[in-house]
A and B are shown apart, each in its own frame.
Chain A
Amino acid sequence: MSKTEKRLLVVDDEPIVGKRLQQVFSKIGFAIETYTEPAAALEAMAARPFDIVVTDLKMEGMDGLEVLRRVKAMNPAVRVIIITGYASPDTAELAQRQGVFEFLAKPFRLDELKQVIFRAMDELDAGN
């Protein structure tokens, strides 16, 4: 794990997702903010820097691909992880092209997400 504290932003319209991730990642030393509305999450992103963004795909108002686009536009270095219960190959491909770091199908083991996030941090620390 990295030495510097990493900042994690989570957006998912189902509150349980943010709550669980808050619990899991604050315990292992992340600074984490969670949102159920994409617009509010983007406001936070604009106001404060984040290293890693975890976003749901299907949300009312704005989907995860749009979140990915906007976040990347604000800061191309941000690693974005999309979590979804409806992963179609098409969306996955589209997300790849727009620079998603990883696509994770819900439900997943929390440990899987942790490993993905640790990989993202290693990349960030290596300055990629």
Chain B
Amino acid sequence: MAVRDSLKRYLHLGWPWSRGSGRSCRPISLIFSQFRAVLKANNHALELMADMGEKLSGEYLFDQRYVQTTVEELIRAMHEAVAALNLLTEERWTVLHGVLAGFEARLRAIVTGRDDREGPPLLWLAEIESHDWPLIGGKAAHLSELSQNPLARVPEGFVITTRTFHDLLDANGLRADFDRFERLMADTQAEAAVLEELRRSLEERVLAAAPPAGLLDALAGAVARLAAAATPLFLAVRSSAQEEDMDFSFAGQFRSVLQVVPEPAAIFHAYCQVAASLFGAKAVRYRRQVFPEGGPLSIAACCQRMIAARASGIIYTDDPMAPGARQMVVVGALGQGQAVVEGQLPTDFFRIAKGETLRLVDAAIARKEEALVVAGPGGGLKTAPVAAEEAEQPCLAEAKLLELAGIASHLETFFKRPQDIEWTMDEQGALHILQARPLLFHETDRERKPLSEKLAGYELLVADQGRVAQQGIGVGPVYLVETLADLKAFPDGAVLVGHRDSSHFVQVMHRAAAIVTEVGTPVSHMATLCRELNVPCLVGVPEIFAKVAPGEEITVDAEDRRIYRGRVVELLAYQAATTMNVHMAPEFRMLRRILRDVSRLHLVDPLMQNFRPEGCKTFHDILRFIHETAVLTLVDIGRDEACLPGGKLARPLDLPIPTGILVIDIGGGVAAEAPADRLSFADIRSVPFRAILSGMLFPEVWHRAAMAVGFRDMMHSILSAPQDAVSGQYTGRNIAIISDTYVNLCFRFGYHFNIVDAFCHEVERDNHIYFRFLGGATDIAKRSRRATLIATILEAFDFSVRTRGDLVIARTSNLVQSEMERTLDILGRLIGFTRQLDVQMTDDAAVERYAEAFLMGDYGLIAREGQGEERQ
């Protein structure tokens, strides 16, 4: 029981890092100002992180310079926070400087675009996570997303990462020339002949390169793993350059080598051809023409099992000739798909209507006399004649076509854009997805101009209302979500319309066309999730429930903040024709990478074992550590009576209920005219503390009757809890550290241990609540039930909750002030309501009963049931 051990340590021995004896006593005013300096530095860093997160919505215009300067500002703020903590703790945590330095280097690598150089040489496709993306190029990134989608069957394989590419350059003495090549590419005035010569030389030398140390062994291991799954094994080695399939398709600009025999030397040879194509004449011309400002590129290669193909081809989920017309286009041929992509052989053409059910509306079957097939055991492909009776048959039967269209339609919803998908069907008739990339259209000026006129014909339900949480355009039938239970029946491709933001919507986000809420903020957890999953989202749209009917189709334009009744074909066509998917722009990707390294929170609680400087994985972790350590330091100093002349630091709070709270005011939390020795509720000026107290004082919340503690429960509590916990009264450790906008309430009522840390003022994105609950007097089953009860209630109020046994950790943030006060009031009620409840948690049904009672405002249930138990 590591958690309980930590608790005991906390209660009995103080923190492992608590002040040693013999330290000097500092003036209280100095300690307070040092503590406030920690909070201020922490909040500044968190603010910068929130600021960057907000930029990802697409509602802002920002550039590389913004990213660079904000990262530098954030690094400075982090140093300030670490320095402030060390001042407060008298240099106990200098080790944090070292932790920070490591993160700093990584962030700078991202900002300077050098984060493609560190990482494993190979990565298994199905195991790739988003933080690996800088290493695998655009195409492999799409494939890794695809391979995690249950509906898409993707051939298994691995990626030779960009780190290997850099190793190859270094191992073969090509670094200096590569750098020179990139400089020339960036220079629009560079002399063509000089560039051409360098390009050709790099291409030749990469083709003839020797493998970096260890690569052949790594390839042998990967091949063995693939061969273990199924033989015969051949590989397709495809390019995956950094920008490929992102803003620009680079379609056909780089090499792919198919039907490669599964031997390390052969794979390396194929890989060199792929890598060398980065310097190919075609690719260099494309980059200079289409992508002149693109910056340095490195290249990865995707190595996948070849499918023995009966038929292959392409499906577009929208018709490039008539965007938005709700038709898919399929092209296919017999055998391998290379022939289709390169237009070598005649192909079948099909058109499928979307709509409620998919329907084949048009087919033009070609006479397919030849097919691209496997050449033989030595690898390679060849063109071979097709049997006469097969040549005039469609390459896919109608049922298969519709199955393919179903998968494609799902992927379009998943990626939130029309897709260009390469498919293949094996000898057994199973469909495999080889690639999916955004389908790009080019609209002529003539078509583009009158968009606003075309839109005039549609009924506007909402104009210029709400805030954009995530940009984009989404169309689908309305699905109203009144309670979270409604999410269970959420239909694919619908528009989710809800009263309030909820992070629970994440369950259906990959299937939602868009999200609209009546109340909400673009910096909520839900908004963050929408940005991660690229779901168009408008929040704070008044009375949208009254304006739409369930099932009717609406078009949400979360760019211009408009909602139309019906399907606005022109907007969809517009979206499909925009060559740029803003969220894939380099600046957005860089910012996302930075936020991933900065703002995730792994280190949630000091009672968890990783709560150490070395356990910090992100800036947010460090800030969390700093905050918690600062609070504990202050509490610790507050206990050290040698340093506290005559109770000036902490004043007891008199309430109509016996809470035994001592208040430490670090600035503005208490009325100036309040007495020096005692405080009453009326003296409290701290906004978050007042809100919690209001909840605790709410009628019936604080059930006064002592619970009927059974003999076993009592014995258990005496044996397992610290002695002074049993009284349930003030034990000298119920402390509220408050300021006008802050509270850290650290206390024990009865048998359990509870912390609330909250910051609350008018700027919503600074606001947060952190809640922790642990322990109880009864056995672990009852205690865990109470923990479940608390977690259930907190989830209903949209906290993000983690539980472990009888430990509950809940967080929420970015709420507007009124919402914060309401939530803190609820927390106050919850604290009172569940104070001694574990005794009554005799069965699992109790969890539901009490949760229901609490949510319905029936706080008297505990007292009623408690008396009932006493009578029995």
Residues of A within 8 A of B (CB): 5, 12, 14-17, 19-21, 23-24, 26-29, 31, 36, 83, 85, 106-111, 113
Contact = CB atoms under 8 A, between A and B. Distances in A.
A115 B263 CA distance: 62
A113 B580 CA distance: 20
A12 B66 CA distance: 14
A14 B580 contact: no
Interface stretch (B1-9, B57-65, B200-208, B229-237): B57-65
Contact of B61 (A28, A31, A108): A108
Given A15-B293, A26-B448, A28-B560, A106 B66 contact: yes
Contacts of A27: 451-452, 559-560, 574
20 contacts: A5-B449, A14-B63, A16-B587, A17-B61, A19-B582, A23-B578, A28-B451, A28-B560, A29-B450, A29-B452, A29-B453, A31-B449, A36-B293, A85-B63, A106-B61, A106-B63, A106-B66, A108-B61, A110-B59, A111-B59
Contacts of A19: 580, 582, 585
Interface in B30-77: 55, 59-66, 69
A128 to B, nearest CB: 24
Nearest to A15: B293
A28 B452 contact: yes
A24 B587 contact: no
Interface string B543-570: 0000000000000000111000000000
B113 to A, nearest CB: 14
A107 B62 contact: yes
A23 B55 contact: no
Contacts of B559: 24, 27
Contacts of B451: 26-29
B65 A14 contact: yes
B63 A16 contact: yes
B60 A14 contact: no
A20 B66 CA distance: 15
Contacts of B578: 23
A23 B579 CA distance: 9
Contacts of B65: 14, 85, 106
Contact of A21 (B59, B60, B61, B587): B61
A24 to B, nearest CB: 7
Given A23-B582, A26-B448, A29-B451, A17 B574 contact: no
Contacts of A83: 61
Nearest to B188: A37
Contacts of B55: 107
Nearest to B443: A26
Interface in B443-486: 448-453
A99 B587 CA distance: 32
A47 B62 CA distance: 30
Interface residues of B, number: 27
Nearest to A111: B59
A16 B585 contact: yes
B69 A85 contact: yes
A14 B62 CA distance: 10
A107 B449 contact: no
Contacts of A20: 61, 582
Contacts of B585: 16, 19
A19 B587 CA distance: 12
Nearest to B65: A85
Contacts of A17: 61, 63
Nearest to A36: B293
A107 B450 CA distance: 29
Contact of A109 (B59, B293, B560): B59
A28 B582 CA distance: 17
A107 B560 contact: no
Contacts of B64: 14, 16
Give me the 6 closest cross-chain CB pairs, A-B, nearest first: A107-B62, A14-B63, A29-B452, A15-B293, A107-B60, A107-B66
A85 B449 CA distance: 31
A111 B538 CA distance: 14
A63 B585 CA distance: 25
Nearest to A84: B65
B569 to A, nearest CB: 15
Contacts of A12: 63
A35 to B, nearest CB: 12
Given A17-B61, A108-B60, A110-B61, 16 more contacts: A14-B64, A16-B63, A16-B587, A19-B580, A20-B582, A23-B578, A24-B559, A26-B448, A26-B451, A28-B560, A29-B451, A29-B452, A85-B66, A106-B62, A106-B65, A108-B61
Contacts of A28: 451-452, 560
Contacts of B586: 16
B63 A109 contact: no
Nearest to B561: A111
B592 to A, nearest CB: 14
Nearest to B247: A19
Contacts of B452: 27-29
B463 to A, nearest CB: 12
Contacts of A110: 59-61
B579 to A, nearest CB: 8
A113 B61 CA distance: 9
Nearest to B55: A107
A107 B580 contact: no
Contacts of A5: 449
A85 B73 CA distance: 14
B836 to A, nearest CB: 50
Contacts of A15: 293
Contacts of B580: 19, 23
A1 to B, nearest CB: 8
B95 to A, nearest CB: 35
Contacts of B293: 15, 36
A83 B60 CA distance: 13
Nearest to A83: B61
Nearest to A31: B449
A13 to B, nearest CB: 9
Contacts of B587: 16
Nearest to B588: A16
Contacts of B448: 26
Contacts of A29: 449-453
Which of B61, B450, B561 is the most central at the interface, judged by chain A CB atoms within 10 Å of its CB? B61
B562 to A, nearest CB: 11
Contacts of A107: 55, 60-63, 66
A26 B451 CA distance: 9
A109 B60 contact: yes
Nearest to A23: B578
